[in-house]
């Protein structure tokens, strides 16, 4: 252990972990001797090694890459991979190693945010992965405390610096809310941010721009002047990233986005409250020989036509989530899931319905 570079290869750490046969006492010793960072890395490698042993020694991670996620056409002419790897509430070495596993399995759409405080970790994992930057689709987002002309210009520059890249493939306003003290100020700051993003889009720093957690009226406000007239040369968002899953339908927002040519990107299709315990989801999982998470993700992708975001720090789950292109749901399956949210369902995450 003394000779292991802590930012060394996952394979090296895996071999050490296998030989050490780590238990709770060993992890505590690592933590005391070398700090939490060493314990986290070697523990994660041990878990990965154990999982690989179950899969078979002849099937190392990445030897069976996930099917390439089909691309969905954006209004920019570019394509966004229909499966994205999310990084919300993840950081440190656990996230770094999870990103390496994800990229080895074929994930190419990686989602971060200024507010997640992990853009630098994403950059480090990309550099170590060996995957060419042009083969990746990287998203980050503008946080609510950075709305306004000067603040947004600064935030874009800082995100590009942390990500160690000259451009991002998609840049989103994370939410319609901000630090404005009145309805009019909130709307003004949000529009200023969007106009700065339009400039950066035209300059090539942001290959596509979009929004997150926006309702139709929030998007309309970006496209119009204060007097209600259509802004000259306004850029229609390429993406609206929203909570969407079998327990929350978002029909009004989805229909609006379809009319406007805005791609819907779904989060929450695994982590929403009670979703993986749903009776219908579990019945279909049993019938298809899949996990409840795979059924929920497949439904959101197939029935709703949305890009889906997934997040896990567990190698087995990362691979399972990538294999949603290997099966499909029947019309009857989808109808059964449709019936779960006949009344539209309920949110589990961020509610911006009261934001002006």
Catalytically annotated residues: 116
Rounded CA-CA distance 324/10 in Å is: 26
* Phi (first) and psi of residue 74, to 5 degrees: -95, 165
- Which own/partner contact pairs does 124-128 have at CB distance under 8 Å and 24+ positions apart? 124/96, 125/95, 125/96, 125/99, 125/100, 126/99, 126/164, 127/164, 128/7, 128/96, 128/100
Beta-bridge partner residues of 317: none
Count helices and strands in the chain by DSSP H and E runs: 13, 10
Beta-bridge partner residues of 264: 240
Residues in the chain: 356
* Phi (first) and psi of residue 58, to 5 degrees: -85, 5
In 3D, which of 99, 7, 106, 10 has the Cα closest to residue 66? Answer: 106
Whether residue 243 contacts residue 348, with contact meaning beta carbons closer than 8 Å, is answered with yes
Rounded CA-CA distance 232/112 in Å is: 31
One-character DSSP codes across 194-231: HHHHHHHHHHTSBS-EEEES--HHHHHHHHB-TTSPBP
In 3D, which of 192, 109, 201, 107 has the Cα closest to residue 147? Answer: 192
Rounded CA-CA distance 110/105 in Å is: 13
Do the strands 79-81 and 71-73 form a parallel or antiparallel pair, or are they unpaired? antiparallel
In Å, the largest CA–CA distance within the chain is: 70
Residue 134 burial by CB count (10 A; 0-12/13-18/19+): exposed, middle or buried? exposed
């Amino acid at each position: 252990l003394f000779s292991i570079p802590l930012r060394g290869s996952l394979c090296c750490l895996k071999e050490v972990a296998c030989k050490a046969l780590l238990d709770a006492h060993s992890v505590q010793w690592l933590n005391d001797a070398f700090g939490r960072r060493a314990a986290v890395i070697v523990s994660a490698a041990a878990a990965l090694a154990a999982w690989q042993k179950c899969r078979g020694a002849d099937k190392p991670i990445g030897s069976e890459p996930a099917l390439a996620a089909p691309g969905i056409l954006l209004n920019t002419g570019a394509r966004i991979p229909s499966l994205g790897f999310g990084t919300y509430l993840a950081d440190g070495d656990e996230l770094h190693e999870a990103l390496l596993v994800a990229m080895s399995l074929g994930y190419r759409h990686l989602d971060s945010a200024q507010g997640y405080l992990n853009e630098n970790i994403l950059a480090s994992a990309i550099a170590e992965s060996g995957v060419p930057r042009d083969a990746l689709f990287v998203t980050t987002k503008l946080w609510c405390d950075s709305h306004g002309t000067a603040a947004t210009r600064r935030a874009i520059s800082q995100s590009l610096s942390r990500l160690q890249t000259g451009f991002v493939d998609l840049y989103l306003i994370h939410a319609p809310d901000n630090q404005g003290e009145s309805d009019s100020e909130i709307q003004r700051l949000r529009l200023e941010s969007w106009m700065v993003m339009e400039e950066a889009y035209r300059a090539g720093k942001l290959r596509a721009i979009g929004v997150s957690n926006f309702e139709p009226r929030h998007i309309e406000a970006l496209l119009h002047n204060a007097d209600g007239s259509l802004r000259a040369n306004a850029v229609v968002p390429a993406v609206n990233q929203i909570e969407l899953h079998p327990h929350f339908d978002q029909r009004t927002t989805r229909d609006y986005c379809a009319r406007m040519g805005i791609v819907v990107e779904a989060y929450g299709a695994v982590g929403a409250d009670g979703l993986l315990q749903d009776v219908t989801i579990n019945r279909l999982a049993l019938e298809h020989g899949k996990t409840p998470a795979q059924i929920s993700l497949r439904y959101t992708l197939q029935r709703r036509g949305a890009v889906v975001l997934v997040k896990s720090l567990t190698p087995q789950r990362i691979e399972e989530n990538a294999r949603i292109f290997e099966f499909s749901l029947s019309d009857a399956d989808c109808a059964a899931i449709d019936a779960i949210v006949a009344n539209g369902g309920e949110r589990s995450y961020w509610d911006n319905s009261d934001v002006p």
